Copies of this chain bind each other. A is one copy, B any other.
């Protein structure tokens, strides 16, 4: 076991020298970029809906204003309408400058008059009432709880979910600002101290566990960090390996374990770190189209939540691995590679057709190589070279040779 095959990339064998090299490569590569980056805000294109992350008291005031407008309309004409930004795909625009998916400014006017519209509007107004009360009480609820809160009215969860998205766009805010949140799967460890209400949490002192990321991120504040970079990992098994090695002690970093799909809270937390610390950010995923897709969610958001993109996306995150070209460069044995199936191939083609992929030639090259060799591999396949290969060879070598997308 653990017979370490020579890594293809020739680097110093001395771990300390390699570490120094890696840190200096990182600093050189990002010094200029990070200075130029305007992390604090985006310059959104014309025609894009400008949404904002707003504090609870401002969101609360907005709900009251909307209710007041509706009331005035009813008093005046006996009927009322509400302009709701369209969330149909024709109203989703790709902002090339910022590499973001955004919602356009197309509006649908919803009337309270016909039999169907009465039901729609009653549901939407109920959500307005619920959000108003959540914000007033300063408590949060999940979408499922909101549905159960008036199951007679909503009938199916898809209806209450839709109204929640609609109300967020009406309020020009992100869903988290409505205090309706989703369960968070991610965990974080490493060189970071945060404040969550009155608790100061040191993410270096979590043992071999981690801090389970809260969905109530409005209360969370980044206090301090001496990390040189952030590493987001798709698979918890790989994150466990880094946790056990306390890898951040050697390579000063913050490690976020996404545990599969990139959920909203995990993305918001990453975004928050990125905004405050402004340090290089990397993603480590399986070498397959789904891994690249997960990376893309961190990078520029999902279509479903396009209007929230500026608050969920981390546009300067880089794909560190496992790249298709790594399979040969790091001698991943043929037997550890899995032939791509039809779904993989379709997914890969879809990725290649995305404009945000096409503008990155290095990314296109790697996906084209994937289409050519039609092989995928998991992060864990690196353990063919021994269980410590990931932390002692692969990651140090990737960083020291600036080998990312």
- CB interface residues, A 108-154, toward B, < 8 Å: 126, 129-130, 133-134, 137, 139-142, 144-146, 148-152
- CB interface residues, A 48-103, toward B, < 8 Å: none
Chain B residues contacting A207 (CB-CB under 8 Å) are 194-197, 199, 201, 214, 219-220
Q: Is A25 an interface residue (CB 8 A)?
A: no
With both beta carbons as reference points, the residue of chain B lying nearest to A200 in the complex is identified as: B205
Q: Is A290 an interface residue (CB 8 A)?
A: no
Of B140, B208, B213, B245, which one neighbours A219 at CB under 8 angstroms? B208
Return the CB mask of A324-345 against B: 1 if under 8 Å, else 0. Answer: 0000000001011000000000
Q: Is A236 an interface residue (CB 8 A)?
A: yes
Chain B residues contacting A144 (CB-CB under 8 Å) are 237, 378, 380
Of B139, B151, B380, which one neighbours A336 at CB under 8 angstroms? B151
Interface size on A, residues (CB 8 A): 66
Q: Is A1 an interface residue (CB 8 A)?
A: yes
Q: Which of A194, A195, A205, A382 has the most CB of B within 10 A?
A: A205
With both beta carbons as reference points, the residue of chain B lying nearest to A335 in the complex is identified as: B151
- CB interface residues, A 216-267, toward B, < 8 Å: 216, 219-220, 236-237, 240-241, 243-245, 259
Q: Is A34 an interface residue (CB 8 A)?
A: no
**Given A149-B383, A335-B151; A216-B212 close (CB under 8 Å):** no
Q: Is A187 an interface residue (CB 8 A)?
A: yes
With both beta carbons as reference points, the residue of chain B lying nearest to A155 in the complex is identified as: B335
CB–CB B206/A201 < 8 A: yes
Chain B residues contacting A215 (CB-CB under 8 Å) are 240
Q: Which of A134, A207, A243 has the most CB of B within 10 A?
A: A207
Of B195, B200, B381, which one neighbours A148 at CB under 8 angstroms? B381
Q: Which of A181, A212, A259, A386 has the most CB of B within 10 A?
A: A212
Chain B residues contacting A194 (CB-CB under 8 Å) are 207
Q: Which residues of A approach B to under 8 Å, CB–CB?
A: 1-2, 126, 129-130, 133-134, 137, 139-142, 144-146, 148-152, 181, 183-185, 187, 194-197, 199-201, 205-216, 219-220, 236-237, 240-241, 243-245, 259, 333, 335-336, 378, 380-384, 386-388
